[in-house]
Structure 1
Amino acid sequence: MHKKILKTLEFDQIRADLQKQAVTEKGQAMASRLEPRAHADKVQQMLDETYDGAKLLRLKGGIPVPALPDISASLKRVRIGAALNGTELAGISRVLQTVDGLVAFFDDIEELIELRRLYDLRGELSDLPALSRRLQRAIDDDGTVRDEASPELANLRRTIKTTEGQIREKMDGYTRGNSAKYLSDPIVTIRDGRYVIPVRSENKNKFGGVVHDQSASGQTLFIEPESIVNLNNKLREAQLAEQQEVNRILAVLSAEIEPEIDSLFDNARVIAYFDFINAKAKYARAIKATEPVVDDKNVVDLIQARHPLIDPAKVVANDIKLGGDYQAIVITGPNTGGKTITLKTLGLIQIMAQAGLYIPANEGSHIAVFSNVFADIGDEQSIEQNLSTFSAHMSNIISILNDLDSNALVLFDELGAGTDPQEGAALAISILDAVGEIGADVVATTHYPELKLYGYNTPGTINASMAFDIDTLQPTYHLLIGVPGRSNAFEIAQRLGLDQPIVDRAKLLISSDSHQLNDMISDLEKERQAAAMTDSDLQKELDRTTSLHNDLKKAYDELNAQKDKELKDARSKANAIVMNAQRESDSIIKELRQLQKQAPRMIKDDKLISAKTKLNSLHEADPLTKNKVLKRAKKQAALKVGDSVKVLQYGQTGTIVKKLDNKQWQVQVGIMKMAVNDNGLEKIQPERDETPKRHVATVKGGMGGPGTTLDLRGQRYNEAMANLDSYIDAALLANYPTVTIVHGLGTGAIRNGVTEYLKRSRNVKKFGYAPANAGGSGATIVVFK
């Protein structure tokens, strides 16, 4: 875009503010050169980078880029064979350390934070760990060559330190001993790189040695005593050797950098760009800016747009829309009403967005991508070129029309001003027509009433105005699109105290067309106010409805929370009941076994079955989720000999042996047979299991009880555990002293489940794997108490 428009709309100040947010020299340079782009893809890419920067600023405090010098000049010197000094090498070392930190930073967040562009930008960094370690080992952050840079340098510096210690020790003898009385001041100082003492001139022969300097008065001589001349010589030789070694190390390090110059240039560029993105994010936060939407139909729709350079406490936000139904806006109204600021706000925000910056407007604001933005704003009078204000404006407008295309935006301030009103209005209308023929978007401010009619009658054009408060006689600075500005001169004059006859006479002097125009504007203003009141009422109703919805949702959430709490409490109580029931069941079984051992004939089988029924009832779960009547009705029909049935009175499973009459069947339950009415039986459907089962022969106990071996192989874990529980209860009731559980090897899940179950059972005395010839670890032998 033209440099002039950037200055006219004060984009230079935006760049200056942005530059303050950067911390690296190259990042600041990038901010100072920022310009808007005219391609939608590039604009979106730049906005995506700002989005990533703002997201990282919010979540991680920003991209970790420290203050860094610009190493470009140093790298250019290396390219021509120069050796860098310590400060330059330290700068390159900091750049490499920053690369290491950035790579680690993005690696850490890649799985946690989704970004649009910066992971790709991270890929342009070249990690040079060997060179980075070499520089860190050799150069301090302040540019000093470290002792670790080479063994020779370390030895020389130890020699220097030792020699300096010896010199100071001898010098202390002069400053603290009897010789101190010959000194002007009991101190040790340095002249020409050699240690000396300040001696009164009359005592110069007391120490011998070499005089290196004297005071301005000549009363003090700085003498190197004869006794330390050799030590000073040794020190100086070591210092010269040290400097030569330092120069050698700097030259070697510079040579090691030379092959990586291109990578270092790229690293410096990418780091600076990260800093620039950080700066954009920080600036967006400072002005409370948001991400604009790049409109695919090139429509500008700014919501509560604010000029970024006006004090936030004083700036007035406005909704500005351009494009779509209309490509031209004619803004009318009195001076100092805010027309020019509105033009600048639109132009500046549009340029900011096309430069990839967030804009000072509410979320959801849309921006277009213009090929160029032109503006004729402000006093263009030129004394040097002998141009009047009107001539200067015309020259600028002619230049704009020559460069204009259909995808541009034009901003005219006080179009046609500075000449005869009638001619100025005619020119303004003609210029707007010319812009309309080209197809560019245009916003123009004017005082001319003729342009209000133009905005009303011309397709694709709409009137707008800046609101004015008649009561306070002050502008409100609010933009009203669709309503032309009306002159308030008569009302203002009356409120200020001008006599009514004078006002009435003035009204008679203006044409009827002007009266009709003002009446039209007045009617439009009333309609706008009515619409605003309706909108306000609807908004209040929406707020009430939203509040009610939120209250209902809160009550619903509280009800669900209360229900979940009650269910949790109920489950806890149920679990406690089940634990108590388990203890009671173990006690019942133990008591029955003792009774059966003592007097087996006195314990009837029906008592055993009744006890077993009580035990099973303790395991009944979730009774509300089972409709027993329906289940019974489904399973009761078509009973026949051999069917497996459930005796409802006792809750036990048995097999139908024979039919006694139309309503009674004989059922074998465990070790006993009983007669049961058909309405007391529930048919059990055999479960289909396509997995072939392996069985072992079971040894029947006395009186037809369960076998002494249970085979769980081929069963699922939950099924096996349920069968094991039922079998152990049956074996205890049958008074078996020992049983065998065959679980196989497999994955070990069922074997482990059997082991855990037996550990918890109070009725098991001991258990262990079967002998090798009886199944080994594939079977467990259980001995009851």
Structure 2
Amino acid sequence: RGVAAAAEEIATTLESLGRLDFVLAKGRLALDMNAVPPTLSGRAWLDIRGARHPLILGRAVPIDIRLGTDFHTLVITGPNTGGKTVTIKTAGLLVLMAQAGLHVPAEACSMGVFRQVFADIGDEQSIEDSLSTFSSHIRNITGILQKADQESLVLLDELGAGTDPTEGAALGRAILEALHARGTRTVATTHFAELKEFASALPGAANASVAFDARTLEPTYRLVIGRPGRSYAFAIAERLGLPPEVVARARGFLKPEQIRIEALLGELEKAQDDAVRKREEARALRAEAYALKKKYEEEWEAWQTRKARLWERTVEEAESELRRVRREAEAIIRSLREQTAAESARVRERAIQEARERLRLLQAPRVLDAGAPETKGDMPRDLQPGETVYLPRYGQYGSVVQPARGEEVLVQVGALKVNLPLTDVQRVPQAPATGKTAAAALALQKVAGIKNELDLRGRRVEEAVTEVDKYLDDAVVAGLTQVYLIHGKGTGALRSALHEMLREDPRVKEFRLGDYGEGGSGVTVITVNI
């Protein structure tokens, strides 16, 4: 009862399982045959490359066949056992498989939809029905002629066989003309030379042959479209043991035009075989050239990638070095400002001079003192402490601290003591003013000449920042407690840049915009941190 109650669901499930099993079976069949999905478009045409008979997989020689494009009637000729019948069976089976939703055993398959497929293949003689081979063929063809149209595929094997050759050839030609006039897609195999001539002369028809190796007298089972085939009857008979004199006698019965046609076909086969071989060689060379082109393109791309990476690494190293130099410069400035904030005005000035001398000695280009001695003598090896010397490379005077040791001497330049090669030192007759006197003169000059205001109007931001930095140094040395920066109102860009600098400067105790009587927002008033 429970099963009966679920009978409808069970039937539906069984039907679904059956459909699923059918789909899986089609997929497994496609895998077993190494098949491909066909491309269907339009009606009544086919173009199959590398087609294989589905029932002789593993042993079948792939063939290329087309129909319904540049011609719609194809006449295949060639020796017995050469593969003519297998060719038309392969074409018919692959068309039916594609239209049944199956994949087809081929390298590529494109075709239209055929409304009907007719075939007259094989020997269907029947003693019971009193039918000979010829009669069975004619009965089948009669039915085909009644139904075939331009959307039909007709496959005819050994057309006109089984009766008198002359009459059979004439009848075969009439049948092909009738089907051709309807536009029916027709593939026929035959041995009749008359049908070869018919296919060569009729527009919309073409010859084809199954290839045969004339040296081994064995078929290659390759279909060649555009070339009529030879029967090779004499060569095969001789190979199978027929006495040579009999074969020679048979050749003598051929008509001159038949001999000439056979000779022409032989030359055509040889020319086409040579063309096929050269085409294969050209294809191989083209494939090799393409592989080489691809290889060198990949190598070029790899080289370009390496070049780009090298350039990026070089830029990174340059930027890293630039950042290092900037950090060192900032460290020097920071050290200066720390010393300036911690020491008295006199000591601060000394630290400023020492830092500037360090920077000048390390980075500045060579500057010669106009009043320095120009002549060069021997290296002064007998220098004594306290003796004044001139340093032409740096344009400075210095005082010897210790006697020379080897090729170097310790010299004090301002507040800085440095070891210098004797080649960079010159003895002078009289020293200029001492460091203390020069420093005092410098301080007096700063006090006498500095103003408590600096006009920056018209300056660019970079120029103004540099000028303010130097001005603050001079203001500290001169002991000014309050100074004025005149930057004007304008867009405010210069004022903003200066205020950003002043916030971080330890020489600045505080700053503000000017009052109404001081110039307003066009002036910044600085209280100097002394």
Q: TM-score range by the shorter chain?
A: 0.5 to 0.7
Q: Deviations over 1:331-375 (max 9, x none)?
A: 111221111111111011111111222211113x31121111110
For structure 1, the residue ranges without an aligned partner over 5 or more in a row are 1-82, 89-250, 615-640, 647-651, 656-667, 674-699, 713-722, 741-785
Contact 1:352 1:358 in 2 (8 A): yes
Give the 3-state SS of the residue equivalent to 1:426 in structure 2. Answer: helix
- 1:546 alignment counterpart: 290
Q: Residue 551 of structure 1: CA displacement?
A: 2.3
**Mapped partners of 1:422, 1:475: distance in 2:** 27
Residue from 63, 69, 85 that aligns with 1:340? 85
Q: Which amino acid aligns with 2:61?
A: V
1:327-476 → structure 2 map (5 Å cutoff): 327-363=72-108, 365-476=109-220
Q: CA deviation at 1:530?
A: 2.8
**Which one of the candidate residues 84, 87, 91 is aligned to 2:2?**
84
State the alpha-carbon separation in 2 of the partners of residues 319 and 370 from structure 1: 19
The structural deviation recorded for 1:511 is 1.6
Relative to structure 1, the CA distance from residue 605 to residue 343 in structure 2 (aligned partners, 3 Å threshold; closer, same or farther) is: farther
**Residue 340 of structure 2 corresponds to residue 559 of structure 1:** no
Q: State the partner residue of 1:311.
A: 57
2:485 to 692, 704, 708: 704
Give the TM-score, by structure 1 length: 0.46
Which whole-Å CA distance do the structure 2 matches of 1:511 and 1:579 have between them?
A: 101
Within 5 Å, give how 1:511-550 maps onto structure 2.
Answer: 511-550=255-294
Contact 2:332 2:355 in 1 (8 A): no
Q: How does 1:112-261 map to 2 (within 5 A)?
A: none
Instruction: Give the secondary-structure state (helix, strand or coil) at the position aligned to 1:320.
Output: strand
**Cα offset, 1:702, TM superposition:** 4.7
1:104-142 Cα shifts (integer Å, max 9, x gaps)? xxxxxxxxxxxxxxxxxxxxxxxxxxxxxxxxxxxxxxx
Amino acid at match of 2:161: A
Aligned-partner Cα distance in 2 for 1:703–1:607: 26
Partner of 1:566: helix, strand, or coil? Answer: helix
Q: Pick the aligned partner of 1:301 from 33, 47, 52.
A: 47
1:9 corresponds to which residue? none
Question: Does the CA-based 8 Å contact 1:299-1:324 persist in structure 2?
Answer: yes
Residues 252-311 of structure 1, C-alpha deviations (whole Å, 9 max, x = no match)? xx6xx98xx6xx977776665455444333322221111222244743111111112113
Structure 2 residue runs of 5 or longer lacking an equivalent are: 363-455, 472-480, 513-530
1:383 counterpart SS class: coil
- Cα distance in 1 for partners of 2:510, 2:124 equals 113
For residue 704 of structure 1, give the secondary structure of its aligned residue in structure 2.
strand
Q: d(CA) in 1 for partners of 2:136 and 2:119?
A: 13
Task: For 1:411 and 1:512, locate their aligned partners in 2 and report how far apart those are by CA, in whole Å.
Answer: 33
Q: Aligned with 1:670: secondary structure?
A: helix
1:558 Cα deviation from its structure 2 partner: 2.0
Partner of 1:481: 225
Aligned to 1:287: 33
What SS does structure 1 have at the residue aligned with 2:122?
Answer: coil
Q: Which residue of structure 1 aligns with residue 332 of structure 2? A: 588
Query: Could you list the per-position Cα deviations for residues 148-168 of structure 1 after superposition, in whole angstroms to 9, with x for gaps in the alignment?
Result: xxxxxxxxxxxxxxxxxxxxx
Verify the 8 A CA contact 1:330 1:463 in the aligned structure 2.
yes
8 Å CA contact 1:295–1:368 kept in 2: the answer is yes
> Kindly tell me: are residues 404 and 555 of structure 1, through their superposed partners in 2, closer, same or farther at Cα, counting changes over 3 Å?
same
Which secondary structure state, in structure 1, belongs to the residue aligned with residue 464 of structure 2? strand
Corresponding residue for 2:476?
Answer: none
Tell me which protein shows more helix as a share of its residues: 1
The 1-side partners of 2:219 and 2:235 are apart by 14
In 2, the alpha carbon distance for the partners of 1:333 and 1:279 equals: 38
Counterpart amino acid of 2:503?
A: A
CA 1:471–1:553 in structure 2 vs 1: closer, same or farther (change >3 Å)?
same
SS of 2:460 mapped into structure 1: strand
Which amino acid is 1:366 matched to? S
- Which of 669, 694, 707 is 2:467 aligned to? 669
Deviations 1:361-398 (A, max 9, x none): 113x3112111111011121223322222111111111
Distance of aligned partners of 1:576 and 1:454 in 2 relative to their CA distance in 1, 3 Å threshold: same
Match of 1:731 in 2: 503
Q: Provide closer, same or farther for how the CA distance between residues 643 and 456 of structure 1 changes in structure 2, counting only shifts above 3 A.
A: farther
Secondary structure of the residue that 2:332 maps to in structure 1?
A: helix
Which AA in structure 1 matches 2:67? Answer: L
Distance 2:111 2:51 in 1: 12
Moved more, 365-374 or 583-592: 583-592
Instruction: For residue 367 of structure 1, give the secondary structure of its aligned residue in structure 2.
Output: strand
Amino acid paired to 2:100: A
Distance in 1 between the 2:322 and 2:19 partners?
67
Q: Pick the structure with greater CA Rg.
A: 2
CA distance in 1, matches of 2:97, 2:11: 29
Instruction: Provide the rounded CA distance (Å) in 2 between the counterparts of 1:305 and 1:386.
Output: 38
Query: Identity over aligned residues, as a percent?
Result: 37
Cα 1:527–1:297 change in 2 (3 A) is: farther
1:654 to 464, 473, 490: 464
